[in-house]
């Protein structure tokens, strides 16, 4: 698992926004090709 500080790292924020298709919610978990957003998932 890799932790990325999207608040302080612009590149990490850009990567998160691309993976989530514009959703800015944390945590974002990436497992293989599956993206899970937030604690409840979506």
Closest CA to 25 of 2, 35, 11: 35
Instruction: Provide the pLDDT for residue 38.
Output: 87
Maximum Cα–Cα distance for the chain, whole Å? 25
State how far the Cα of 25 lies from the Cα of 33, in Å rounded to an integer. 18
Splitting the chain (42 residues) into consecutive groups of 10 residues, what average pLDDT does each group show? Answer: 93 96 93 89 58
Place of tokens 């409840």: 40
């Amino acid at each position: 698992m890799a932790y990325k500080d999207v608040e302080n790292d612009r590149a990490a924020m850009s990567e998160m926004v691309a993976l989530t298709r514009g959703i800015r919610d944390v945590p974002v978990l990436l497992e293989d090709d599956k993206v899970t957003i937030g604690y409840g998932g979506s």
